[in-house]
């Protein structure tokens, strides 16, 4: 029986469920991090395979640290395949350059690739292309989750109706797009699965990862779980902030099973929301958040800085809304602040809305602001771009947006409860220094925890690559499951 080592990500949990159902009793699953002794044994065991799921640039840094630690052992890994890599990161990065930087990699799987991973696991020699694309393999049959991969009891189980794709398909700044393997189950089947997981596996915490849950769907979930007399706890990644959500407060207060909801607010400006076809109204936001808070549900909102077309007034209105509702009334628990990046799916939509822009190449990982140690010169799909400003009659580099609106953006970033998401966005260190001046160090210290991925359980990243490697290696992966 082969042993598969996975880092603890939601994608890995789903993948292990698929493998265990397709190949019963063929594999046993263990979790990273492992201690050094187990790493050495795994490298020398031809029946051991390390599978790393890379979802963001933070995971790239952990991967770099992991391979550095492997190299330090001085051992030649035994067996093929030995290191399988996959995850969302490879959908927007230069995989060939990645292989040059990490030559130990046996295969990279691009896309939603359950069938491709299974193919790679059953290859016995390094022949053929080492970059496997999901679109070249048969779409996987629908499958249920299972307890193949050991999972911390305090972390919710990720569940989804389908792939990570906007349900209303209108937002012009959205990077999400369906692929050939994207499928969606009905809300009825989704609820049936929740009930089954609750009863069969005794799972109690669930994380609904669809970012397009509608109000009537949440109402159905609450009613169905009540009728089945099961009471799990639910965290919801994303709901659409529409007026119908106000009417949910009574049902939420009665059920008491929803803990937290994320809302894609983006900007508190109706002009910008209309421009980008967000499909929500600013006057609905406070009543929705207030109703959910009264029902005992915490809310976090996502703010998107750097959208082309935003004025100082748009930023000021967003700041005032956050101050009133996160600092004063506290109906917002936290605000996750993101930076707009331009990728191929978005470029056509920018042209549709009349934004005049020009690109100047692609960002590399080494341009990533969250970089502490030097990251490799691996290109991404994210574009370095300028936008044309009619008022000044000049091209403005995207980084300059931070400086053009420096005062209000600094106030947004300094709000209690506001966290900047460093993990996947590109702003030069020079721009940050110009924005913050001597205060940069303190601000970074306050926000450092967000550079880490959730599976680090809140531990602060530090100590260079060696410190990162210990995050994946210092704890024993002691639990087997087959």
* Residues 412-430: tens digit of each pLDDT: 999 999 988 776 567 877 8
- The stretch 165-177 carries a mean pLDDT of 54
Residue ranges and CATH numbers for the domains of the chain are: 2-141+466-473 (3.40.50), 157-456 (3.80.30.20)
Check residues 391 and 10 and name the one with the higher pLDDT: 10
Count of Cβ atoms closer than 10 Å to residue 473 Cβ? 19
What is the distance of C-alpha 152 from the center of its chain? 19
Whole-angstrom distance, CA of residue 333 vs CA of residue 356: 36
pLDDT tens profile 41-71: 999 999 999 999 998 777 887 888 899 899 9
Burial of 122 (0-12, 13-18, 19+ CB in 10 A): exposed
Q: Which phi and psi (to 5°) does residue 40 adopt?
A: -60, -45
DSSP 101: H
Q: Is a pLDDT exceeding 80 seen at residue 402? A: yes
Radius of gyration of the chain (CA): 23
- Among residues 302, 295, 160, 299, the alpha carbon closest in space to that of 217 is found at 160
Q: Is a pLDDT exceeding 90 seen at residue 120? A: yes
Q: Is a pLDDT exceeding 60 seen at residue 168? A: no
Q: Any bridge partners for residue 31, and if so which?
A: 6
User: Who's near 74: CB < 8 A, 6+ residues apart?
Assistant: none
- Among residues 340, 360, 471, 452, the alpha carbon closest in space to that of 69 is found at 471
Whole-angstrom distance, CA of residue 279 vs CA of residue 273: 7
Q: Give residue 374's pLDDT band: very low, low, confident or very high (50, 70, 90).
A: low
138-142, 221-225, 396-400: least confidently modelled range: 138-142
- The stretch 13-19 carries a mean pLDDT of 95
User: Who's near 127: CB < 8 A, 6+ residues apart?
Assistant: none
Check residues 440 and 404 and name the one with the higher pLDDT: 404
pTM: 0.87
pLDDT at position 173: 62
pLDDT at position 466: 38
In the chain, the percentage of residues whose pLDDT exceeds 70 is 86
Extended beta strands in 240-275, E state: 258-266
Helix (H) or strand (E) holding 208: strand 205-208
pLDDT at position 174: 62
Q: Is a pLDDT exceeding 50 seen at residue 482? A: no
- The stretch 169-196 carries a mean pLDDT of 73
Q: Is a pLDDT exceeding 50 seen at residue 310? A: yes
152-161, 383-392, 433-442, 448-457: least confidently modelled range: 448-457
Cis peptide before 11 (omega within 30 of 0): no
**DSSP reduced 3-state for 171:** coil
Alpha helices for 128-235 (secondary structure H): 187-201, 215-227
Q: What is the mean pLDDT of the chain?
A: 85
pLDDT tens profile 250-291: 999 999 999 999 999 999 999 999 888 888 999 999 999 999
Q: Across the chain, which distance is largest between two alpha carbons, in Å?
A: 67
pLDDT at position 478: 26
pLDDT at position 469: 42
pLDDT at position 71: 93
pLDDT at position 61: 77
Q: Is a pLDDT exceeding 70 seen at residue 380? A: yes
3-state secondary structure 331-379: CCCEEEEEECCECHHHHHHHHHCCCCEEEEEEEEHHHCCCCCCCCCCCE
pLDDT tens profile 229-244: 999 999 998 898 989 9
Whole-angstrom distance, CA of residue 378 vs CA of residue 179: 24
Instruction: Characterize the bridge pairing of strands 233-239 and 107-110.
Output: unpaired
248-252, 302-306, 386-390, 414-418: least confidently modelled range: 386-390
Q: Is a pLDDT exceeding 60 seen at residue 103? A: yes
């Amino acid at each position: 029986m082969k042993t598969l080592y996975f880092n603890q990500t939601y994608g890995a949990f789903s993948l292990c469920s698929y493998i265990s159902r397709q190949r019963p009793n063929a594999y046993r699953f263990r979790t990273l991090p492992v201690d050094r002794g187990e790493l050495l044994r795994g490298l020398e065991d031809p029946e051991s395979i390390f599978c790393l799921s890379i979802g963001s640039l933070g995971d790239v840094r952990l991967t770099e640290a992991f391979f550095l630690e492997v190299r330090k052992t001085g051992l030649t890994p035994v067996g093929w395949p030995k290191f399988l890599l996959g995850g969302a990161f490879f959908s927007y990065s230069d995989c060939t350059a990645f292989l040059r930087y990490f030559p130990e990699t046996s295969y990279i799987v691009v896309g939603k690739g359950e069938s491709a991973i299974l193919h790679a696991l059953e290859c016995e020699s390094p022949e053929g292309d080492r970059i496997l694309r999901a679109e070249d393999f048969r779409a996987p049959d629908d499958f249920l989750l299972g307890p193949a991969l050991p999972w911390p009891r305090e972390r919710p189980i990720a569940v989804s109706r389908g792939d990570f794709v906007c349900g209303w398909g209108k937002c012009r700044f959205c990077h999400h797009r369906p692929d050939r393997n994207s499928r969606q189950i009905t809300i009825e089947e989704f609820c049936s699965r929740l009930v089954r997981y609750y009863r069969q596996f005794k799972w109690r915490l669930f994380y609904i990862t669809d970012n397009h849950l509608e109000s009537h769907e949440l109402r159905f979930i609450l009613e169905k779980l009540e009728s089945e007399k099961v009471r799990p706890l639910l965290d919801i990644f994303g709901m659409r902030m529409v007026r119908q959500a106000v009417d949910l407060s009574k049902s939420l207060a009665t059920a008491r099973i929803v803990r937290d909801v994320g809302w894609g607010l983006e900007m508190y400006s109706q002009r910008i929301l209309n421009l980008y076809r967000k499909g929500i109204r600013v006057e609905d936001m406070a009543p929705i958040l207030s109703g959910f808070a009264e029902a005992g549900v915490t809310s976090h909102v996502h703010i998107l800085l750097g959208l082309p077309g935003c004025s100082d007034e748009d930023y000021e209105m967003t700041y005032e809304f956050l101050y009133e509702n996160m600092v004063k009334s506290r109906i917002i628990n936290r605000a996750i602040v993101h930076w707009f990046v331009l990728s191929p799916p978005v470029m056509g939509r920018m042209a549709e809305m009349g934004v005049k822009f020009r690109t100047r190449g692609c960002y590399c990982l080494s341009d990533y602001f969250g970089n502490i140690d030097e990251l490799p010169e691996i290109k991404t799909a994210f574009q370095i771009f300028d936008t044309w400003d009619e008022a000044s009659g000049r091209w403005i580099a995207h980084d300059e947006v931070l400086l053009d609106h420096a005062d209000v953006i600094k106030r947004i970033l300094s709000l209690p409860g506001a966290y900047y998401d460093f993990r996947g966005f590109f702003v030069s260190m020079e721009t940050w220094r110009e924005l913050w001046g001597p205060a940069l160090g303190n601000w970074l210290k306050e926000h450092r925890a967000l550079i880490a991925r959730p599976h680090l359980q809140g531990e602060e990243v530090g100590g260079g690559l060696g410190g990162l490697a210990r995050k994946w290696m210092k704890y024993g992966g002691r639990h087997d499951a087959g």
